[in-house]
Amino acid sequence: MPTATLTSKGQITIPKEVRDDLNLVAGSKVLFVKLPNGQYRIIARTGKVQDLKGMLYTPEQPAISIEQMNEDIADAAAESVMRSMER
């Protein structure tokens, strides 16, 4: 089972096996989602919103930045996971 050690600065290195399984690369972001039982789940924020370009086009809706889309998608994903864990 992969393990990591917390440094005095509060940092850990995610073991290579876990990085590979989650498709994490330098600069990847991960979410730490607290479960109802007090444990945490790590969720990789992988993929790019550019892959969805044009799918939800609505001419009358004002444009938002890719960065804002990424944040909104990540927030919604975390909320979805939390809801599914409560069932």
Checking if the pLDDT of 5 tops 60, the result is yes
Which residue range is the domain that position 42 belongs to?
Answer: 16-86
pLDDT, one tens digit per residue, over 41-84 is 888 887 665 655 665 567 787 888 999 999 999 999 988 888 88
Q: How many domains would you assign to the chain?
A: 1
- pLDDT, residue 48, reads 63
**Residue at 71 is within a domain:** yes
**Residue at 1 is within a domain:** no
pLDDT, one tens digit per residue, over 9-48 is 999 999 999 999 988 989 888 888 888 888 888 888 876 6
Output the DSSP codes for 15-77: PHHHHHHTT--TT-EEEEEE-TTS-EEEEEE-S-GGGGTTTT--TTSPP--HHHHHHHHHHHH
Q: Which pTM value belongs to this model?
A: 0.50
- pLDDT, residue 73, reads 92
End-to-end CA distance of the chain: 28
On whether the CB atoms of residues 30 and 42 are closer than 8 A, the answer is yes
The residue whose two tokens read 């804002």 is 68
On whether the CB atoms of residues 31 and 78 are closer than 8 A, the answer is yes
